[in-house]
Structure 1
Amino acid sequence: MTSRPEDVAAVRAVVETFLGAFVDGPDSVDRLDALRALFVPGAIVVATCGRPEPAVYDVDGFITPRQELLAGGSLTEFTEWPESGRVEMFGDIAHWFGSYSKSGTQDGEAFTGRGMKSMQLVRFPEGWRISAIAWDDEREGLTIDQP
């Protein structure tokens, strides 16, 4: 597969913008509102995370409760960031698969976590947009292998 360095950089920028939107604070609602523009119409977001059945969201169904959580005060000092990942692309489609970490305080209890995300992206005239995201988090019996 061939990919231009500027396209790989643009896809990585979308990934970083997506994960960087999930930070608590006074502008969290605005960041998450702006995040909607990174998705194609009809995009889906799927969380597995050990659930008996994966949770499937449309864009608003995914973003709205996270806005409320980040702005509500019970989740503080929260941040999420990419660790490592790879971009694969062909023509106007791309895929990022990588690890991410998160930390914060929920109802007074500090926590950290890690997981893996898979993002599909499509090139539009205005740039790369997310068509689908799926993720799973580490838990007992499921950990990210260290290199």
Structure 2
Amino acid sequence: MWPVTTDVTADEATDQDAIQGMVDAFFGAFVSGPGCAERMDLLRGLLLPQAVVVRTCGLEPAVMGVEEFIAPREALLTDGSLTDFREWPVEGRIEVFGDIAHWFGAYAKAGTQAGEPFTGRGMKTIQLVRTPGGWRISAAAWDDERDGLTLPTDAD
């Protein structure tokens, strides 16, 4: 494990705050109900146009570009089949080196689909790069809990 430093400069604290804000906004985009189009536009602004998003979840990895990722989720969040849905970060860590950073952590989700309430948890990794316009997400990947795969005990 890499050593963790506790002496954080003002610039590093600013980076950490900016990145945590982006992580919170990323998860906050996935909420059913009014304002979905605005949240998806915000999500597009968080991502580099060339960003790559990968879903694993025990399946063949699905590698998506920005619109391939957003469009089906926006449809699902607005077509009425998924209600009371939201995702949120549970526990994560941010590491920054110069103009690159990543957030790795646990997340949870809950909602009602086709009239059936559900919950779920998983892990996500979000990679970021510093651009002239500020931090942007360059890549994200996730895997969800399933039979034989549960969150680490320190991720609750």
The match for 1:19 is 27
Structure 2 residue ranges without an equivalent (≥5) = none
Bigger relative contact order (CA 8 A; separation at least 6):
1
Segments ≥4 residues shifted beyond 3 Å: none
The match for 2:58 is 50
Q: Report the TM-score when normalising by structure 2.
A: 0.90
Amino acid of the structure 2 residue aligned with 1:13: G
Give the 5 Å matches for 1:77-116. Answer: 77-116=84-123
The match for 2:48 is 40
Aligned-residue sequence identity (percent) comes to 60
CA distance in 2, matches of 1:44, 1:126: 19
The match for 1:121 is 128
Q: Report the TM-score when normalising by structure 1.
A: 0.96
The match for 2:38 is 30
Amino acid of the structure 2 residue aligned with 1:64: A
Q: CA RMSD in A?
A: 1.2
Instruction: Name the count of aligned residue pairs.
Output: 146
Structure 1 residue ranges without an equivalent (≥5) = none
C-alpha distance after superposition, 1:32-60 (max 9, x if no partner):
12210111121100000011x10111000
SS at match of 1:73: coil
C-alpha distance after superposition, 1:38-97 (max 9, x if no partner):
11121100000011x101110000000111000000000001000000001100100100
